């Protein structure tokens, strides 16, 4: 590639369409953000620019100050302007949550859990009838786990017992 090419020409030569997803996958220089996500990079006017931001500005328009360019497709190497939208960090997080992306698996699906749904429901039924230590011995867990379930600090989605302090906040 010649240095005499415009940024637009270099951009056009460095992405390829994925017919299955519609994503335009960046094939040029790739960097990583602070979370380790891959990001396409393009040199524009002697500065490194993120390829998806360049695409948005080129095909859609200016990016308002303080806003991010986010991906509907969740593919950080996609530069298809139809897959991009501007928003705040909160908008991006809301988009992530709506797609159930990035959330920790709940209950038994969480690899850190040593409890099953049935055990938690049994613990929940016993809360208030015995001490946490007694319930823990009976159910094969720790008093700390029983206390967390009792307060709604864990498994609240299953027991309906949300932490009262969080509700008040």
More confident call, 116 vs 162? 116
pLDDT > 90? residue 167: no
What are the backbone angles phi and psi of residue 68, rounded to the nearest 5°? Answer: -95, 160
CATH 3.30.9 fits 7-98, yes or no: no
Say how many C-beta atoms besides its own lie within 10 A of residue 159's C-beta.
17
Model confidence pLDDT, tens digit, residues 3-59: 688 999 999 999 999 999 999 999 999 998 887 888 999 999 999 999 999 999 999
Model confidence pLDDT, tens digit, residues 117-159: 899 999 999 999 999 999 999 999 999 999 999 998 888 888 7
Determine which helix (DSSP H) or strand (DSSP E) holds 58, and give its type and residue range: helix 51-59
CA angle 162, 164, 169 (to 5 degrees): 110
pLDDT value for 162? 66
Q: Is 149 helix (H, G, I), strand (E, B) or coil?
A: helix
Report the alpha-carbon distance of residue 118 to residue 125 in Å, rounded: 11
Model confidence pLDDT, tens digit, residues 85-112: 999 999 888 888 777 676 567 777 777 7
pLDDT value for 104? 65
In the chain, CATH 3.90.75 sits at 7-98
pLDDT value for 141? 92
Q: Are 150 and 139 in contact (CB under 8 A)?
A: no
pLDDT value for 165? 46
**Residue 41 to residues 25, 63, 100, 160: CA-CA distances in angstroms?**
12, 17, 28, 47
pTM for the predicted model, two decimal places: 0.60
């Amino acid at each position: 590639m010649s240095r005499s090419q415009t940024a637009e020409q270099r951009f056009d030569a460095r992405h390829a369409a994925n017919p299955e997803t519609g994503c335009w996958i960046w094939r040029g220089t790739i960097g990583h953000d602070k979370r380790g996500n891959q990001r396409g990079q393009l040199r524009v006017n002697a500065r490194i620019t993120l390829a998806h931001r360049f695409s948005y500005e080129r095909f859609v328009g200016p990016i308002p100050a303080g806003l991010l360019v986010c991906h509907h497709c969740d593919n950080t190497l996609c530069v298809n302007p139809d897959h991009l939208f501007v928003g705040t960090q909160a908008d991006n997080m809301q988009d992530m949550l709506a797609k159930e992306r990035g959330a920790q698996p709940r209950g038994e699906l969480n690899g850190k859990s040593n409890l099953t749904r049935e055990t938690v429901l049994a613990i929940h039924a016993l809360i208030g009838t015995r001490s946490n230590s007694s319930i823990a011995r009976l159910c094969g867990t720790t008093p700390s786990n029983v206390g967390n379930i009792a307060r709604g600090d864990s498994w609240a989605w299953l027991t309906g017992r949300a932490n009262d302090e969080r509700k008040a906040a």
